[in-house]
Amino acid sequence: MRLYDVDVSSRLLLGTAQYPSPLVLTDAIAASGCGVITVSLRRETANGGASGFWPLLQATGALILPNTAGCHSAREAITTAQMAREVFGTNWIKLEVIGNADTLQPDPFALVDAARILCADGFVVFPYTTEDLIVVERLLDAGCRVLMPWGAPIGSGRGLRHVDALTAMRGHFRSVPLIIDAGIGAPSQAAQAMEMGFDAVLLNTAVAKAGDPVAMARAFGQAVAAGRLAFEAGLMPPRDMAVPSTPVLRMADLGLGGLR
Protein backbone atom coordinates (compact mmCIF):
# COMPACT_ATOMS: atom_id res chain seq x y z
CA MET A 1 0.00 0.00 0.00
CA ARG A 2 1.18 3.52 -0.76
CA LEU A 3 0.31 6.42 1.52
CA TYR A 4 1.50 9.91 0.66
CA ASP A 5 4.29 8.53 -1.56
CA VAL A 6 5.45 6.12 1.15
CA ASP A 7 5.25 2.36 0.70
CA VAL A 8 3.63 0.62 3.67
CA SER A 9 4.14 -3.10 4.23
CA SER A 10 0.67 -3.94 5.58
CA ARG A 11 -2.93 -2.75 5.27
CA LEU A 12 -3.44 -3.06 9.02
CA LEU A 13 -2.65 -0.09 11.28
CA LEU A 14 -2.56 -0.52 15.07
CA GLY A 15 -3.01 1.83 17.98
CA THR A 16 -0.72 1.58 20.99
CA ALA A 17 -2.99 2.41 23.95
CA GLN A 18 -4.52 0.21 26.69
CA TYR A 19 -2.19 -2.80 26.35
CA PRO A 20 -1.51 -4.69 29.59
CA SER A 21 2.27 -4.27 29.27
CA PRO A 22 4.94 -2.92 26.90
CA LEU A 23 6.00 -6.48 26.08
CA VAL A 24 2.48 -7.46 25.06
CA LEU A 25 2.28 -4.33 22.91
CA THR A 26 5.48 -5.06 21.00
CA ASP A 27 4.60 -8.74 20.61
CA ALA A 28 1.17 -7.80 19.25
CA ILE A 29 2.68 -5.38 16.74
CA ALA A 30 5.04 -8.09 15.53
CA ALA A 31 2.29 -10.72 15.34
CA SER A 32 -0.03 -8.45 13.37
CA GLY A 33 2.58 -7.62 10.74
CA CYS A 34 1.30 -4.04 10.73
CA GLY A 35 3.40 -1.39 9.05
CA VAL A 36 2.04 1.70 10.85
CA ILE A 37 1.34 2.33 14.53
CA THR A 38 -0.40 5.34 16.01
CA VAL A 39 0.56 7.05 19.24
CA SER A 40 -0.69 10.15 21.01
CA LEU A 41 1.61 12.85 22.30
CA ARG A 42 -0.06 12.56 25.71
CA ARG A 43 0.77 8.85 25.93
CA GLU A 44 4.38 9.43 24.88
CA THR A 45 5.01 12.11 27.48
CA ALA A 46 3.21 10.08 30.15
CA ASN A 47 5.57 7.16 29.67
CA GLY A 48 8.89 8.74 30.36
CA GLY A 49 9.46 10.78 27.24
CA ALA A 50 12.47 9.91 25.12
CA SER A 51 13.77 7.46 27.73
CA GLY A 52 10.67 5.23 27.79
CA PHE A 53 7.87 4.68 25.36
CA TRP A 54 9.41 6.30 22.27
CA PRO A 55 12.44 3.97 21.98
CA LEU A 56 10.09 1.03 22.49
CA LEU A 57 8.03 2.12 19.48
CA GLN A 58 11.09 2.81 17.35
CA ALA A 59 12.37 -0.70 17.99
CA THR A 60 9.28 -2.23 16.34
CA GLY A 61 10.39 -0.95 12.94
CA ALA A 62 6.86 0.27 12.13
CA LEU A 63 6.15 3.74 10.79
CA ILE A 64 4.93 6.13 13.49
CA LEU A 65 1.70 8.06 12.99
CA PRO A 66 1.24 10.52 15.87
CA ASN A 67 -2.34 11.56 16.58
CA THR A 68 -4.15 14.43 18.22
CA ALA A 69 -6.38 12.19 20.35
CA GLY A 70 -8.44 14.01 22.94
CA CYS A 71 -8.42 17.40 21.20
CA HIS A 72 -11.76 19.24 21.09
CA SER A 73 -10.88 22.34 19.07
CA ALA A 74 -8.92 23.18 15.95
CA ARG A 75 -6.48 25.28 17.94
CA GLU A 76 -5.79 22.46 20.42
CA ALA A 77 -5.29 19.95 17.60
CA ILE A 78 -2.92 22.26 15.70
CA THR A 79 -0.81 22.91 18.80
CA THR A 80 -0.67 19.19 19.60
CA ALA A 81 0.35 18.37 16.01
CA GLN A 82 3.16 20.92 16.11
CA MET A 83 4.45 19.48 19.39
CA ALA A 84 4.18 15.92 18.03
CA ARG A 85 6.27 16.88 15.02
CA GLU A 86 9.07 17.99 17.32
CA VAL A 87 8.84 14.93 19.59
CA PHE A 88 8.51 12.25 16.91
CA GLY A 89 10.43 13.89 14.09
CA THR A 90 7.73 13.30 11.46
CA ASN A 91 5.32 15.43 9.46
CA TRP A 92 2.72 12.66 9.57
CA ILE A 93 -0.25 13.37 11.81
CA LYS A 94 -3.55 11.63 12.40
CA LEU A 95 -5.89 14.53 12.93
CA GLU A 96 -8.66 14.06 15.48
CA VAL A 97 -10.93 16.92 16.55
CA ILE A 98 -13.71 15.55 18.72
CA GLY A 99 -17.08 17.27 18.64
CA ASN A 100 -19.12 15.14 21.04
CA ALA A 101 -17.84 13.72 24.30
CA ASP A 102 -20.26 10.78 24.33
CA THR A 103 -19.95 9.51 20.75
CA LEU A 104 -16.44 10.88 20.12
CA GLN A 105 -17.75 11.93 16.72
CA PRO A 106 -15.42 14.26 14.81
CA ASP A 107 -16.33 17.96 14.65
CA PRO A 108 -16.46 18.43 10.86
CA PHE A 109 -16.08 22.21 10.95
CA ALA A 110 -13.09 22.31 13.28
CA LEU A 111 -11.61 19.28 11.49
CA VAL A 112 -11.60 21.01 8.11
CA ASP A 113 -10.20 24.23 9.61
CA ALA A 114 -7.37 22.37 11.35
CA ALA A 115 -6.62 20.26 8.26
CA ARG A 116 -6.30 23.33 6.06
CA ILE A 117 -3.84 25.02 8.44
CA LEU A 118 -1.76 21.88 9.03
CA CYS A 119 -1.53 21.01 5.32
CA ALA A 120 -0.36 24.55 4.60
CA ASP A 121 2.24 24.12 7.34
CA GLY A 122 3.75 21.08 5.65
CA PHE A 123 2.00 18.33 7.61
CA VAL A 124 0.94 15.05 6.02
CA VAL A 125 -2.58 14.86 7.41
CA PHE A 126 -4.66 11.72 8.02
CA PRO A 127 -8.05 13.10 9.14
CA TYR A 128 -10.42 11.03 11.28
CA THR A 129 -13.80 11.86 9.80
CA THR A 130 -17.36 10.69 9.33
CA GLU A 131 -18.63 9.22 6.06
CA ASP A 132 -20.27 12.53 5.04
CA LEU A 133 -19.37 13.18 1.39
CA ILE A 134 -19.41 16.97 1.70
CA VAL A 135 -16.97 16.89 4.62
CA VAL A 136 -14.75 14.55 2.63
CA GLU A 137 -14.72 16.96 -0.32
CA ARG A 138 -13.76 19.83 1.99
CA LEU A 139 -10.91 17.79 3.48
CA LEU A 140 -9.59 16.99 0.02
CA ASP A 141 -9.81 20.68 -0.91
CA ALA A 142 -7.83 21.47 2.26
CA GLY A 143 -4.95 19.31 0.99
CA CYS A 144 -5.58 15.87 2.56
CA ARG A 145 -4.78 12.94 0.27
CA VAL A 146 -5.73 10.09 2.63
CA LEU A 147 -8.97 9.92 4.62
CA MET A 148 -9.93 7.89 7.70
CA PRO A 149 -13.73 7.47 7.96
CA TRP A 150 -15.09 5.90 11.11
CA GLY A 151 -16.77 2.52 11.06
CA ALA A 152 -18.52 3.16 14.37
CA PRO A 153 -17.77 5.20 17.52
CA ILE A 154 -14.29 4.71 18.96
CA GLY A 155 -14.03 1.64 21.17
CA SER A 156 -17.60 0.48 20.47
CA GLY A 157 -16.72 -2.68 18.54
CA ARG A 158 -19.88 -2.31 16.43
CA GLY A 159 -18.13 -2.73 13.10
CA LEU A 160 -19.39 -0.92 10.00
CA ARG A 161 -22.50 0.80 11.33
CA HIS A 162 -23.45 2.63 8.11
CA VAL A 163 -22.55 0.22 5.33
CA ASP A 164 -24.57 1.99 2.63
CA ALA A 165 -22.95 5.36 3.36
CA LEU A 166 -19.48 3.84 3.43
CA THR A 167 -20.16 2.02 0.17
CA ALA A 168 -21.22 5.30 -1.42
CA MET A 169 -18.09 6.98 -0.10
CA ARG A 170 -15.86 4.25 -1.52
CA GLY A 171 -17.60 4.46 -4.88
CA HIS A 172 -17.53 8.24 -5.05
CA PHE A 173 -13.85 8.67 -4.16
CA ARG A 174 -12.34 5.76 -6.06
CA SER A 175 -8.80 7.14 -6.31
CA VAL A 176 -8.49 8.34 -2.69
CA PRO A 177 -6.93 5.97 -0.12
CA LEU A 178 -9.61 5.34 2.52
CA ILE A 179 -8.75 3.75 5.88
CA ILE A 180 -11.55 2.56 8.15
CA ASP A 181 -10.76 3.95 11.58
CA ALA A 182 -12.60 3.18 14.84
CA GLY A 183 -15.39 0.81 15.82
CA ILE A 184 -13.87 -2.43 14.48
CA GLY A 185 -14.33 -5.14 17.09
CA ALA A 186 -13.75 -8.46 15.29
CA PRO A 187 -11.52 -9.77 12.50
CA SER A 188 -14.64 -10.52 10.44
CA GLN A 189 -15.54 -6.83 10.53
CA ALA A 190 -12.08 -5.88 9.33
CA ALA A 191 -12.35 -8.42 6.51
CA GLN A 192 -15.72 -6.95 5.55
CA ALA A 193 -14.20 -3.48 5.21
CA MET A 194 -11.43 -4.82 3.02
CA GLU A 195 -13.87 -6.80 0.87
CA MET A 196 -15.75 -3.53 0.25
CA GLY A 197 -12.62 -2.06 -1.27
CA PHE A 198 -11.29 0.06 1.55
CA ASP A 199 -7.53 0.37 1.49
CA ALA A 200 -6.73 -0.38 5.13
CA VAL A 201 -8.11 -0.68 8.66
CA LEU A 202 -6.92 1.03 11.84
CA LEU A 203 -7.93 -0.37 15.22
CA ASN A 204 -6.78 -0.48 18.83
CA THR A 205 -9.22 -1.60 21.50
CA ALA A 206 -10.21 -4.90 19.85
CA VAL A 207 -6.61 -6.08 20.13
CA ALA A 208 -5.43 -4.33 23.29
CA LYS A 209 -8.41 -5.50 25.37
CA ALA A 210 -8.60 -9.05 23.99
CA GLY A 211 -8.00 -12.02 26.28
CA ASP A 212 -4.87 -12.74 24.24
CA PRO A 213 -3.83 -9.52 22.46
CA VAL A 214 -0.99 -11.19 20.55
CA ALA A 215 -3.22 -13.91 19.11
CA MET A 216 -5.92 -11.36 18.29
CA ALA A 217 -3.38 -9.13 16.54
CA ARG A 218 -2.36 -12.09 14.39
CA ALA A 219 -6.02 -12.82 13.62
CA PHE A 220 -6.62 -9.25 12.49
CA GLY A 221 -3.53 -9.28 10.31
CA GLN A 222 -4.74 -12.41 8.55
CA ALA A 223 -8.31 -11.11 8.22
CA VAL A 224 -7.19 -7.86 6.60
CA ALA A 225 -4.96 -9.74 4.16
CA ALA A 226 -7.77 -12.20 3.31
CA GLY A 227 -10.31 -9.43 2.82
CA ARG A 228 -8.03 -7.55 0.47
CA LEU A 229 -7.24 -10.68 -1.53
CA ALA A 230 -10.97 -11.41 -1.86
CA PHE A 231 -11.62 -7.88 -3.12
CA GLU A 232 -8.85 -8.11 -5.67
CA ALA A 233 -10.00 -11.58 -6.79
CA GLY A 234 -13.52 -10.29 -7.41
CA LEU A 235 -16.36 -11.27 -5.11
CA MET A 236 -19.43 -12.88 -6.62
CA PRO A 237 -22.47 -10.56 -6.62
CA PRO A 238 -25.41 -11.45 -4.37
CA ARG A 239 -28.45 -12.99 -6.10
CA ASP A 240 -32.14 -13.00 -5.32
CA MET A 241 -32.63 -16.63 -6.37
CA ALA A 242 -30.74 -19.88 -6.07
CA VAL A 243 -28.44 -20.91 -8.91
CA PRO A 244 -27.33 -24.56 -9.10
CA SER A 245 -23.63 -25.06 -8.65
CA THR A 246 -23.73 -28.48 -10.33
CA PRO A 247 -24.31 -28.39 -14.11
CA VAL A 248 -27.43 -30.24 -15.24
CA LEU A 249 -25.98 -31.18 -18.64
CA ARG A 250 -25.13 -34.90 -18.92
CA MET A 251 -26.71 -35.69 -15.56
CA ALA A 252 -28.49 -39.02 -15.21
CA ASP A 253 -32.24 -38.84 -15.82
CA LEU A 254 -33.52 -41.87 -13.93
CA GLY A 255 -37.11 -41.15 -14.91
CA LEU A 256 -36.36 -41.56 -18.63
CA GLY A 257 -33.70 -44.18 -18.17
CA GLY A 258 -31.11 -42.24 -20.12
CA LEU A 259 -28.72 -39.34 -20.01
CA ARG A 260 -29.38 -35.74 -20.83
Q: Which residues are part of the catalytic machinery? A: 94
End-to-end CA distance of the chain: 51
**What DSSP assignment string belongs to 64-114?**
EEEE-TT--SHHHHHHHHHHHHHHH--SEEEE--B--TTT--B-HHHHHHH
**What DSSP assignment string belongs to 40-53?**
EHHHHHHTTGGGTH
| Nearest residue to 179 via CA among 144, 213, 210 | 144
DSSP 8-state secondary structure symbol assigned to residue 150: B
Run of H or E residues at 135: helix 133-142
| Nearest residue to 167 via CA among 196, 199, 128 | 196
| CB atoms near residue 257 (< 10 Å) | 7
User: Which residues are paired to 79 by β-bridges?
Assistant: none
Longest Cα–Cα distance in the chain: 84
Q: How far apart are CA 198 and CA 230, in angstroms?
A: 12
Q: How far apart are CA 14 and CA 33, in angstroms?
A: 10
3-state secondary structure of 188: helix
